[in-house]
Every structure is written in C-alpha cells, then in structure tokens.
Chain A
Amino acid sequence: MSAAATAAQPPQRARGSGTGNLLDRAWRGLVAGVMALFVVNVVLLIAAVAVNSVATRWLGTWLPVGWTLSWYLQSWKDFQLAGILWVTFEVVFAVVLVSLAIGVPAAYTLARRNFPGKRALLLLFLLPLMVPPMTYGIPLATVLYQMHLAGTIWGVILANLIPAAPFVILVMTPFIEQIDPNLEAAARVFGAGTGRMFTSVLVPLLAPGILAASLLVLVRTIALFELTFLTAGPDSQTLVVALYYAVFAAGVRAPQSIDAMAMIYMLVTLVWLLIALRFVNPTQLVSRVKERPVPAG
C-alpha cells in the first residue's frame, strides 16, 4: 500500500471524547501544580535560611542589606560546633556499625529460616518503627537515668540504636531473600568451609545491601531528634539537638548565627544524602514495611 493510495482516500479519523481529555489534562495540571507548589516552597524555605546565614542585617526586605560570612565563624565559636560535630560523628558511626553488626545476622536468620515465633520476632523488630520515639523514649530515658547512662554518649548511642537496628533488619531481610540460597550450597559443594563461604560468597553478595542500609541509617540517625533529645546531656548533644536548643533559645544569639548553624547541619546531612542517593532508591529511605506474604515451606 503506497503513501499515495493512503493520501487519495483519507480514512476518517476517529475521535476520543474531548471532554474526557480536557478533564484528564486539568487533573494532571492540578497534580503537577500541587507538586510544584510544595517543592518551590520547600526550596524557598531552605533558601531563606541560607540567605539569612550570610546576611549582615535582614529585616523585612526582599534581600538583606549586606553580605558576610562572619556568622559562620561566630556560630562555630558560640555553639562550640567542633565538639558537637565530633560527638555527632562518634554517635552516628557507632550506631551504624553496631546496628549492622547485630542487624545483618538477624536479617540473615529471618530471610533464610522458618521457626516457631518468627512472626513474633518480626513484630518485635517492627514495633520500634511503628511506635513513635516519644512514647518509648520517655520510659527509656528513665531507665537510662537509673543506670547512669543518660547524659552520656553511651546512652545516646544506645537510644539511637533502637530504631536503627530494626531498620537494618527490615532493609536487609528482603535483600538477603533475593539472593539465591543455591549460591551458598554451591560454594559448599565446591569445598568452601563455613568461614570461606561467608567471606568469599555471602559478604560480596551482601555488600551492596549493607552499603545501602548503612547509608540510610546514617542519614536517619543524623536527623533523628527525639531520642537524642531525651537522653543527651550537655556533653553528648548531637548537631540536631544543639540546633533545637539554639532555636528554642532564640533571642539569646543573633538569628543569623543560628541560621549559620542550621546551614552547617544541612550541609552535613545533604552530603551524606547525596552519597546515599547514588546507591539507593529513594523509596528505601522510608521504612519499608511492605507486607510480603510469609514465605512458605
């Protein structure tokens, strides 16, 4: 059939219902509009903090009178940020390491074995993510005070581990499940001992999942406020708690100084977030509690 023949006898073009298309478009526009509204406001909100942190004076105008970086220096001194950053670093890395050390083996068991009480165990690991930190944080803080751990960095680390370890388990369990158990069997058939099997087969296979889980825990722990707030003492504050106190006591210090601190906090989080996003699907950042059918057999 040549193009000429088609042109000579143009078939009538069928139409979709026009109103349906219009409604569809209006709806899409609305959805895109709401999304844009949200993103624009969040970006401006962050920009407002950024601009104020480098402003000499900014009162009720579009842009500040002049620009300066001195607030960062002042903030660094006033809030003793060096110490706070060091504490944050210690807490976050301790939490990542310990949660991996206890979470990954537990995830392995949950992924590979069926045993009586498995559902109860799953519930035990799921609950800390379902119950808000405030609810269990207050009794926990009470217990930690009795053990003289509250107010120390150890108390802060222990408290932050409560949501972190289950999070590692929830991220790693499906990851381990999708690794073919035959690979482990094959390694054994070809003569790998348990230790060799673990180091030469399981660890390399798990590495991407472990990397993802540790980055996620890291980002979440930096931002986790309540538990640190309830358990930290003056020497064991992390950045987010220090920021809270700074904002709470606004008026004591210049607002620009507080915003400079907020920017430092944001940069710390964003750097890790960007690293994390290179390796992780963003939907994994929220706790994945997808209900999966309990594997049979």
Chain B
Amino acid sequence: MSAAALPGTGQPTKAASRPAFDRALLLAIPATLFMLMLFVYPFLYGLWLSFVPAKGGPLANYHTFFTTSDLWPTIGTTLKLALPATVINVGVALPIAFRMRVRGRWQRIVTTLLVVPITLGTVLIAEGMLNYFGPKGWLSHALQLVHFYDGPIRLTHNYWGVLISLVISGFPFAFLLILSYVTGIDPVLARAAATLGAGSFARFRHIYLPLLAPGLAMCFCLAFVQAFSVFPSAVLVGAPAGPTRVISIAAYQAAFEQYDYSLASAIAMIMGFVQLVIVAAVLSLRGFFYRGPVAGGKG
C-alpha cells in the first residue's frame, strides 16, 4: 500500500523527487494482469482457435458458418430481434427518462420500480412470462374478458416472446442509463432557452437532444450489445429450433453439444464482429453531433 504515497514528501524539490517510476502505478497491476489473463488471452486464444479447425484450412470454420443453413441465418435472426428491441427500449426510455429528470419522490419511486427487472435477470423473467403471457395466463384471461382478442394469445415460444422478454429486461437498463445522462445536463440551460422564447418542444429539440446525442449513442450501443447476445430467453420463451435460433444458441451448441470448440470460437468471433460493426456505425453517427461538456458556461 505504500505505493499510495504522494511523491515529493520529505524531498527537496518536486523535480528531484519525481521517481523514474511512480509506485502508485503498481496498484493497477493486479487488475491489469487479471484482465489480460482472463479476458484478453482467452479472446486471442479463441481467435487463434477459430483459424485451426479440426479439419480443413484456416478459414474452414468461417466457410462452414456461411454455407451451413442452420448457422448463417442466425445472424439475421438475431439482428431481427436485437435491433427492434433496442430501438423500442431506447425510443421509449428517452421520453420517460426525460419526464423523470426532476429530482423528487416520483423519480425515486419509478427508478426503484424499474430496477427490479434488471436484477431479476433474464431467467426469472422468462419463467414469469411463461406463466403470465402464456395461453392460459392472466393476460390472456383479461383480453378475453374484455373481448379484445378471443383466441388463445400466442406470446410465448415464438418471436414475440423473445422480443417482449428483451424489452422487459432491456428497457429498465436503457431508462436508467438515459436518466443519468439527462440529469447530467444543467437545467439552467433549458431555463435560459425558455426566457429566449423556446417552448417545451423547442427546448427538447434544440437543447436537450443535441446534448444527449452522445449519451444516446452510447446507450444504444450498450442496449444493443445486451440484446444481441440474447440467450436464455431465446431458449426458454422462444422457439430455439426455428424462428429464435439466435447466434448465441448456435455458438453454445457448437461448443457444448458438438464439442467443436474451434467452430464455437469462430461463431463467437463472428458475433463479436457483427456487434462491432453496428456499434461503430452508431458511434460514427454521433460524430454529427456536438461532443463536450453539458454544463452551461463555466462553474
């Protein structure tokens, strides 16, 4: 712990006291080594492994992936779930977070209510959905009661089940993240805009939205990454053999059902690559907007 020492105590001048190596940097070494060993090394190992298939040339796995009919469509299947889910989550979370930006009792209550689904995790949500959204669940009952829809509703074991589960687990995350961005914007800017004649929509459009853009891009990326890696709900409330056979399922089956770690690693790398493309696209869009502090003037 001695590395936490401030340089310079007991030594004549600052220049002379500056050691060639700052011992405080040692404090970061355990964490750095840990991440290198357990995150970077496995990742690189996986990358290497994906190029040394059990049989065939270095690109055989990738060739297999893009030519096998139950592998390559998983990209599209996953995108078809992840993109709408992300758009819904961010799009709905933005106005709600914006309404909740004023500190107070409601903000506390609503954020607390919304935290619960995040911490319950996808597995519990899936189990709850099977009960509640199932053909004999309360929702189905209620809809039949008001004659809104009389047949048994089909919201589980298909595309919609997975989408709903992605919204339930992803929306609170997007909401809380956007809320922390919105509350980071100095409200005096909106007041200044109001005194200059900007109505509530104009204030949102000209002040909040441009200042939020970087945060929204970041939020979209994180929400997308979360949705793109959907796994337990795709199995439990989806149709894992067909319409919701997402890329995670393909990777999992390759690794733990066919024991082809090389192919599994290739699928994981493809998964990472697709995400990277989407994330890069969104972040480059952000370049059109302002980046910088969101406080007003100085102070």
A interface vs B, CB < 8 Å?
20, 24, 27-28, 31-32, 34-35, 38-39, 41-42, 44-46, 48-49, 52, 59-60, 62, 101-103, 105-106, 108-110, 112-113, 115, 121, 124-125, 127-128, 130-143, 145, 158-159, 161-162, 165-166, 169, 181, 184-185, 188, 194-195, 197-198, 202, 219-220, 222-226, 229-230, 240, 243-244, 247-248, 250, 255, 258-259, 262, 265-266, 269-270, 273, 277, 282-283, 285-291, 293
Contact = CB atoms under 8 A, between A and B. Distances in A.
A141 B261 CA distance: 9
Interface stretch (B11-19, B69-77, B227-235): B227-235
B183 to A, nearest CB: 8
Interface residues of B, number: 102
B20 interface: no
A250 B42 CA distance: 34
Contacts of B269: 135
A259 B38 CA distance: 35
A291 B218 contact: yes
B5 A130 contact: no
Given A161-B38, A225-B123, 8 more contacts: A44-B138, A109-B27, A125-B31, A135-B271, A142-B42, A283-B183, A285-B115, A286-B176
A145 to B, nearest CB: 8
Contact of A247 (B2, B5, B130, B168): B130
Contact of B129 (A45, A135, A269): A45
Contacts of B95: 27, 31
Given A42-B117, A240-B123, A286-B177, A194 B4 contact: yes
Given A130-B222, A134-B251, A45 B131 contact: yes
A142 B38 contact: no
B46 A138 contact: yes
Nearest to A288: B180
Given A34-B96, A105-B30, A266 B235 contact: no
A16 to B, nearest CB: 10
Contacts of A110: 28
Contacts of A286: 118, 173, 176-177, 180, 222
B24, B199, B218, B231: which has the most chain A beta carbons within 10 Å?
B231
Interface in B19-41: 22, 24-25, 27-28, 30-32, 34-36, 38-41
B295 to A, nearest CB: 11
Interface of B: 1-2, 4-6, 9, 22, 24-25, 27-28, 30-32, 34-36, 38-43, 45-47, 49, 92, 95-96, 99, 110-133, 136-139, 141, 168, 171, 173, 176-177, 179-181, 183-184, 199-200, 214-215, 218, 221-222, 225-226, 228-229, 231-232, 235-236, 248, 251-252, 255-256, 261, 264-265, 267-269, 271-272, 275, 279, 292-293
A242 B59 CA distance: 37
Contact of A113 (B1, B22, B31, B272): B22
